[in-house]
Amino acid sequence: MIFILFTLFVVVSGFQKSGLISLLSRRIEGGKYIPLKLVVATFFLSMLITNDVVLIVIVPLTLALSIDRKDILVILQALAANAGSALTPFGNPQNLFIYWFYDVSAVQFVSSIAPFSLVFLLLLVVSALAIKTRADLSHPAPVARVGKSSYIYGVLLVVVLLTVLRELPVPTALLAVLYVLLFDREALRVDYALLLSFLFFFGLAENIRFMLEAEISHAGHIFLFSALASQVISNVPVAVLFAKFTAHWEALLWGVSVGGFGSLFGSLANLIAYKLYINHSTTNDPALFTAKFLIIGYVAFFMAIGLYFSLQEIPFLSP
């Protein structure tokens, strides 16, 4: 997984330098409802190409726009990626693990988590419509000059995405690494600290696994424990950790999905969106952005907890 993320970072880095992202951002600026288009696109694309991948592609595109309110847009995109990816078995790594570990059908899986994703889709649409953006003259977008390398990076992105979807073997993604080593070493300047943080989360979860022995029998406890634990060690390792101690896969699915909201560590997607924004040349005031990210994230987190327990009162909708 770390290797695949590295190749994605490299390909997107090359895309940014090729000028293609700047060109796409110019075309988006020409239309109406920019926040709505970006948020809805993030939600639905995350179902197909995972929450991490869609943010690696969409956030740089957003940051290339010459509009204001980009900080709020990036935060909403992180929420949209987590909510949208929860709806399909292959939308994120924890879903894929739960889907295979518990051997559930696709219909069971989608119907169980659908209330979570659809309610937050509605809330995100309303939020996006409420955001009014205008041209940001202090950070005008550069003139888009698309280099020939953009076509190569387009092919490499497709190759890496097919690797993520397991349509191609993992070693195929080495093509991206070989290309940048031979022709574009500047693309290797990616956020290695973020990749190391992923390794830390998985290592921490493995250590905690040896500390837990008893089975957790109550679905409500599984939901709360997994949602809260995700705030510290991320929802992917939490899914792997708690699956060994419970048969309540629906509660676990809801817990790690809700746990994606809240802290920067709740989901790897959160860290990706956060780091891409903070490290971008046009951004400023990281402390204010961090505060906004956490406040909005935890509002969504507690709303999702309330949604889960409210559905317990409706038998045919109970997760």
186-207 pLDDT tens trace: 777 766 665 666 566 555 555 5
State the pLDDT at residue 19. 62
Q: Residue 24: in which H helix or E strand, if any?
A: helix 20-29
User: Would 254 be classed as within a structural domain?
Assistant: yes
- Full-model pTM: 0.75
With a cut of 90, say whether residue 250 has pLDDT above it.
yes
Return the higher-pLDDT residue of 255 and 94: 255
Q: Binning pLDDT at 50, 70 and 90, where does residue 26 land?
A: low
Q: Which of 78, 136, 18, 41 is nearest to 275 (CA)?
A: 78
User: Would 182 be classed as within a structural domain?
Assistant: no
**Beta bridge partners of residue 135, listed in sequence order:** 67
State the pLDDT at residue 216. 61
Give how far Cα 267 sits from Cα of 150, 181, 238, 281, Å.
Answer: 30, 30, 10, 24
Of the listed ranges 114-123, 151-160, 262-271, the one predicted with least confidence: 151-160
With a cut of 60, say whether residue 48 has pLDDT above it.
yes
With a cut of 90, say whether residue 54 has pLDDT above it.
no
Q: What is the mean pLDDT of residues 66-78?
A: 89
User: Would 7 be classed as within a structural domain?
Assistant: no
State the pLDDT at residue 16. 64
User: Would 169 be classed as within a structural domain?
Assistant: no
State the pLDDT at residue 270. 93
User: Would 165 be classed as within a structural domain?
Assistant: no
Let me know: does 69 contact 127? Beta carbons within 8 Å: no
Q: Binning pLDDT at 50, 70 and 90, where does residue 3 land?
A: confident
Q: Which residues contact 41 (CB under 8 A, 6 or more apart)?
A: 58
State the pLDDT at residue 132. 85
Let me know: does 226 contact 259? Beta carbons within 8 Å: yes
User: Would 51 be classed as within a structural domain?
Assistant: yes
Cα–Cα distance for residue pair 170/152, rounded to 1 Å = 19
State the pLDDT at residue 22. 58
With a cut of 70, say whether residue 224 has pLDDT above it.
yes
State the pLDDT at residue 8. 72
Let me know: does 20 contact 153? Beta carbons within 8 Å: yes
With a cut of 90, say whether residue 141 has pLDDT above it.
no
Number of folded domains that form the chain: 1
- Which residue range is the domain that position 74 belongs to? 20-144+191-317
User: Would 44 be classed as within a structural domain?
Assistant: yes
The amino acid present at 118, given as its one-letter code, is L
